[in-house]
Amino acid sequence: MSESRNTSALVRPKVKAPKEMERGAAASPAPGASPEDIALVQRLLAGEEAAFASLVDQYHSGLLRLAMMFLADRAGAEEVLQETWVAVLEGLSSFEGRSSLKTWVFGILANRARTRAVREGRSVPFSSLAEAGREHEPAVDPSRFQPNGGWAEPPRHWENDTPEKLVMRREALRRLELAIAELPANQRAVVTLRDVDGLDSKEVCNVLEISETNQRVLLHRARSKLRRVLEDCVDWT
Amino acid sequence: MLTCQELTELVTDYLEGRMSFVKRLGFELHLGMCARCRAYLRQMKMTVRTLGKLPAEPMPAEVRQELLARFRRLGRGGPSKARGSWKACVLSALERAVGARRGWLPVATILLSLVAAVFLTGARAGPLGEGRVCLFTELAGGLLPFALVSLLAASSRSRVSPAAGAAVASFGGLAGYLLLQVTCGLTHAAPHVLAFHVGGVLLATALAAASSRAHLLWWPR
Model pLDDT, residue A125: 60
User: Which among A89, A163, A191 has the least Cβ separation from residue B74?
Assistant: A89
| Residues of B with Cβ-Cβ distance to A164 under 8 angstroms | 53
Q: Do B36 and A151 touch (CB under 8 A)?
A: yes
User: Which among B44, B67, B221 has the least Cβ separation from residue A227?
Assistant: B44
Mean pLDDT calculated for residue range B126-134: 72
Task: Kindly give, in sequence order, each residue whose CB lies less than 8 Å from that of residue B125, ignoring residues fewer than 6 positions away.
Answer: none
d(CA A114, CA A116): 5
Shortest Cα–Cα distance, B170 to chain A (Å): 29
* 3-class DSSP state of A151: strand
Q: Do B18 and A86 touch (CB under 8 A)?
A: no
Pair B2, B27: CB distance under 8 Å: yes
Domain coordinates in residue numbering, chain A: 2-18+27-119, 156-233
Q: Which class is A2-18+27-119 in CATH?
A: mainly alpha
The CA–CA distances, whole Å, from B181 to B148, B189, B197 equal: 25, 12, 9
Shortest Cα–Cα distance, B135 to chain A (Å): 36
pLDDT tens for each residue of B152-191: 777 666 667 778 888 888 889 889 888 888 888 887 888 8
d(CA A147, CA A144): 10
Pair A105, A88: CB distance under 8 Å: yes
Buried b (16+ CB within 10 A) or exposed e, A190-209: bbbbbbbbebbbbbbbbbbe
Q: Does B102 touch chain A (CB under 8 A)?
A: no
Is the Cα dihedral B196, B200, B201, B206 positive or negative?
Answer: positive
Pair A80, A114: CB distance under 8 Å: no
Residue type, A192: T
User: Which residue of B9, B54, B70, B98 to mutate against A (max A Cβ within 10 Å)?
Assistant: B54
Nearest 5°: the CA angle A232, A140, A124 is: 95
Shortest Cα–Cα distance, B182 to chain A (Å): 46
Phi-psi region of B77 (alpha: psi -120 to 50; beta: other; left: phi over 0): left
Model pLDDT, residue A144: 93
Model pLDDT, residue A15: 39
ipTM: 0.79
Q: Quick one: DSSP state of residue B124?
A: -
d(CA A183, CA B3): 28
Q: Do A45 and B71 touch (CB under 8 A)?
A: no
d(CA B41, CA A151): 14
Q: Does B64 touch chain A (CB under 8 A)?
A: yes
Query: Tens place of pLDDT for every residue, chain A, 237 residues?
Result: 444 444 443 444 333 333 333 333 333 344 577 888 888 888 888 888 899 999 998 899 899 999 988 887 888 999 999 899 989 988 888 888 888 888 899 999 999 998 898 888 876 666 555 445 556 788 999 999 999 999 999 988 777 778 888 888 888 889 999 999 999 888 999 999 999 999 999 989 988 888 899 999 999 999 999 999 998 887 654
d(CA B203, CA B173): 9
d(CA A40, CA A54): 10
CATH number assigned to the domain with residue range A156-233, chosen from the 4 options 1.20.1260.10, 3.40.50.12780, 1.10.8.60, 1.10.10.10:
1.10.10.10
Model pLDDT, residue A124: 66
Q: Do A163 and B220 touch (CB under 8 A)?
A: no
| Residues of B with Cβ-Cβ distance to A220 under 8 angstroms | 9, 11-13
Q: Do A46 and B76 touch (CB under 8 A)?
A: yes
d(CA B114, CA B132): 11
Alpha-carbon torsion, ordered A47, A114, A188, B63, to 10 deg: -40
Q: What is the widest separation between alpha-carbon atoms in chain B?
A: 98
Q: What is the widest separation between alpha-carbon atoms in chain A?
A: 65
Residue of B nearest to A50 (CA): B68
Shortest Cα–Cα distance, B202 to chain A (Å): 30
pLDDT tens for each residue of B8-44: 999 999 999 999 999 999 999 999 999 999 999 999 9
Residue of A nearest to B66 (CA): A82
Residue of A nearest to B220 (CA): A46
| Residues of A with Cβ-Cβ distance to B65 under 8 angstroms | none
| Residues of A with Cβ-Cβ distance to B79 under 8 angstroms | 45, 92-93
Residue B203 dihedral angles phi and psi, to the nearest 5°: -65, -45
Shortest Cα–Cα distance, B103 to chain A (Å): 20
Is the Cα dihedral A118, A123, A128, A133 positive or negative?
Answer: negative
Among residues of chain B, what percentage have pLDDT more than 90? 23
Q: Do B39 and A155 touch (CB under 8 A)?
A: yes
A-contacting residues of B 133-192, CB under 8 Å? 157
* 3-class DSSP state of A145: strand
End-to-end CA distance of chain B: 66
pLDDT tens for each residue of B198-214: 888 898 888 888 877 76
With 0-12 / 13-18 / 19 or more C-beta atoms within 10 angstroms meaning exposed / middle / buried, residue B9 is middle
Model pLDDT, residue B108: 64
Pair A235, A160: CB distance under 8 Å: yes
Pair A66, A120: CB distance under 8 Å: no
Query: Who wins on pLDDT, B179 or B74?
Result: B179
Model pLDDT, residue A70: 87
